[in-house]
Amino acid sequence: MKRAWLGILLMGIAIEAQAVGSLANIQIIDRDTGNVLPTYRCRGEYWVAGRPGARYSIVVQNYRGQRLLAVTAVDGINVISGETGAWSQSGYVLGAGESYEISGWRKSDAEIAAFNFTAAGSSYAERTGRPANIGVIGVALFLERPTRFPQYEALARPDDSSRDRGEGAARAAPQSPVAASLSSPSPKLEEIHPYTNAAPAEKLGTGHGAREASYVQNTRFDRLSSTPNEVIKIRYDSFENLVAMGVVPSRPAWRAGPNPFPDSTSPRYVPDPPGG
């Protein structure tokens, strides 16, 4: 991953190459401009600066050669179910190498309410009585448990009697304990899979914006572990607030520096004759 250190390195602040994560690439997009928001790292945390009023999205790109579950929360709230965020909740399932843009609070299998940067007092978290975690985006990533296949025991060739054939069948049956589990009821389909075609100023939060079409379908995902294989946290606020907190260095207005030879004329070449 490329990094633009420049003079910011001297201040202990680095601007990353617009992405965070090892199992997946996480980016925050300003949907109104199409720009990827620069990611700043300060005091061990990642930050992005949002524009008040702008719509935004969270892009998750699966780096793995297998399916990956991304349980995503904004301001401490699960973006699919609306529950106070927990690892065990619903998430988006991405295929190997697949990328998906999470653009809002899911309202149904066909609709979302868009994310937008807004004053904390107008955020969805504040309006639902959960303001404690405003200003953070979290993605908990889970690997999938490999599919298990029956293992068969090699048996001695039975003789021609029907009795022996029956005994052989009885011996073969218990060799596959997985077969019983395959016949048990399917786990609850609680994950969501996207269709492939588819002084300081007031703190920023995430609003419950306009409704938009967004299609998903249910799928089953067997997590390799009950705890995430990776948790990615990105904090956000306005640019002015990040400057005030020392996350981003201030940007003074540019002006020309002093000239050591202010009365010198520019180099001359052959002048035109009088009259042009």
Identify which of 59, 46, 53 has the alpha carbon closest to the alpha carbon of residue 15: 46
Q: What is the pLDDT of residue 118?
A: 97
**Angle, CA of 17, 21 and 22, to the nearest 5°:** 110
Q: What is the pLDDT of residue 169?
A: 37
User: pLDDT digit string (tens) for 94-152?
Assistant: 999 999 999 999 999 999 999 999 999 999 999 999 999 999 999 999 999 998 766 66
Identify which of 90, 91, 26, 25 has the alpha carbon closest to the alpha carbon of residue 64: 25
Number of DSSP helices (H) and strands (E) in the chain, helices first: 4, 17
AA identity, residue 158: P
Identify which of 173, 234, 163, 165 has the alpha carbon closest to the alpha carbon of residue 204: 234
**What is the biggest distance separating any 2 CA atoms in the chain, rounded to whole angstroms?**
124
Residue 175 has pLDDT above 70, yes or no: no
Q: pTM of the predicted model, to two decimals?
A: 0.70
